[in-house]
């Protein structure tokens, strides 16, 4: 019995001794490396999620402003999830806004204001993230500061009136068009009308009032040849 008890004591002592041994330096280095990789992966994942959130917010601002500007409530600008190209451009906008210490909404709204004033249109996505976009924001902020721009005002499309063309100018253009077609195609006036003026096609080449006064065209029309 004493021998058995002694053996058991030795086994327990051996087991206790092996379990109390410190891990090797190699094992410690491996553990530290795995811990670093885990932390680094978590940091990268968090960074990517943060970037995605910022790009999504910028996309929504641009989309809402464009819908309002064009008065098309069902307009869809982006496909979600955002493409890599769209994310890159939108994150450039976010970075530029941060650099100028303005929020993303102000930055993008500035592009719409300036493009509407200068070009009578909305900015395209690549234009709000271009090198010149920062200057447009500065122009906008200056306008807000001197009260020439109201940031809360609706951005309305400018209506550009078509230039008025006199009756004489229209007639002169039609005469010139007829001579040009006769010379280029080696045709008579009658042949030009028959070739180019079937039905409403005549209005693509000649003024309506001029056609009404052209005797050759009117005769062909009465004869049903144009």
Query: pLDDT tens for residues 104-119?
Result: 999 999 999 999 988 8
DSSP state of 148: S
Same domain as 95, residue 138: yes
- Tens of pLDDT along 12-27? 555 555 444 555 666 6
Length of the chain counted residue by residue:
226
Q: Quick check: is 31 in a domain?
A: no
pLDDT of residue 41 exceeding 50: no
Residues 173 and 140 in one domain: no
Residue 118's Cβ-side half-sphere holds a number of Cα atoms within 13 Å equal to: 10
Higher per-residue pLDDT: 28 or 122: 122
125 and 76 together in one domain: yes
Return the pLDDT at 67.
93
* Same domain for 185 and 127: no
Looking at the structure, tell me whether residues 64 and 106 fall in a common domain.
yes
Q: Are residues 138 and 197 in the same domain?
A: no
According to the model, what pLDDT value does residue 212 have? 95
98, part of any domain = yes
**179, part of any domain:** yes
The residue from 87, 111, 145 where one domain ends is 145
Give me the mean pLDDT over the 141-163 stretch: 80
Report the alpha-carbon distance of residue 135 to residue 111 in Å, rounded: 10
- Report the distance separating Cα 83 and Cα 137, nearest Å: 26
Q: Give residue 183's pLDDT.
A: 93
Which pLDDT does position 197 carry in this prediction? Answer: 94
Q: What is the pLDDT of residue 134?
A: 93
Question: Residues with Cβ < 8 Å from 177, sequence gap 6 or more?
Answer: 205, 206
* Residue entry with tokens 């109390």: 20
Domain boundary among 145, 179, 214: 145
- Domain limits for position 107: 50-145
Asked if the structure places residue 12 within a domain, the reply is no
Residue 126 domain-assigned (yes or no): yes
Residue that is written with structure tokens 């045709």 in the block: 187
Say yes or no to pLDDT of 61 above 90.
yes
Q: Report, in angstroms and rounded to the nearest whole number, the Rg of the chain calculated over CA atoms.
A: 38
- Asked if residue 129 is part of any domain, the answer here is yes
Note whether 63 and 105 are within 8 A (CB): no
Phi/psi of residue 59, each to 5°? -60, -40
How many domains are contained in the chain?
A: 2
pLDDT in tens, 87-105: 999 999 999 999 999 999 9
Structural domain contains residue 25: no
- Crossing angle of the two packed helices 25-70 and 104-119, in degrees rounded to 10: 40
Q: What is the pLDDT of residue 19?
A: 46
Among 147, 214, 203, CA closest to 175: 214
Q: What is the pLDDT of residues 169-203, one digit of tens each?
A: 999 999 999 999 999 999 999 999 999 999 888 99
Q: What is the pLDDT of residue 2?
A: 46
Query: Residue written as tokens 């464009």?
Result: 66
Cβ atoms of residues 115 and 122 within 8 Å: yes
Dihedral sign for Cα 104, 59, 51, 115, please.
negative
Flag whether 43 is in a domain. Answer: no
Our measurement of the distance from residue 161's CA atom to the centroid of its chain's CA atoms, rounded to an integer in Å, reads 28
Give the pLDDT confidence score for residue 1 in this predicted structure.
46
pLDDT higher than 60, residue 11: no
Final residue of a structural domain among 112, 145, 178: 145
Mean pLDDT of the chain: 83
Pair (130, 69) in one structural domain: yes
Q: Is the pTM of this model over 0.85?
A: no
> What integer pLDDT is reported at residue 13 of this predicted model?
52
Residue, of 14 and 65, whose pLDDT is higher: 65
117 with 193, same domain: the answer is: no
């Amino acid at each position: 019995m004493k021998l058995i008890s002694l053996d058991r004591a030795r086994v327990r002592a051996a087991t206790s001794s092996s379990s109390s041994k410190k891990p090797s330096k190699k094992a410690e280095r491996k553990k530290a490396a795995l811990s670093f990789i885990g932390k680094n992966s978590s940091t990268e994942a968090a960074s990517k999620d943060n970037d995605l959130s910022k790009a999504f917010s910028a996309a929504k601002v641009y989309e809402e402003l464009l819908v309002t500007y064009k008065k098309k409530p069902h307009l869809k600008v982006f496909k979600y999830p955002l493409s890599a190209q769209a994310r890159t451009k939108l994150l450039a906008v976010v970075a530029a806004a941060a650099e100028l210490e303005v929020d993303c909404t102000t930055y993008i709204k500035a592009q719409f204001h300036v493009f509407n004033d200068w070009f009578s249109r909305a900015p395209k996505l690549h234009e709000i993230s271009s090198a010149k976009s920062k200057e447009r924001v500065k122009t906008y902020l200056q306008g807000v500061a001197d009260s020439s721009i109201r940031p809360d005002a609706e951005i309305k499309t400018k209506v550009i009136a078509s230039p008025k063309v006199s009756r004489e100018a229209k007639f002169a253009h039609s005469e010139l068009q007829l001579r040009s077609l006769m010379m280029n195609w080696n045709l008579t006036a009658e042949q030009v009308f028959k070739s180019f003026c079937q039905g409403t096609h005549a209005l693509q080449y000649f003024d309506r009032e001029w056609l009404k006064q052209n005797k050759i065209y009117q005769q062909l029309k009465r004869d049903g040849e144009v």
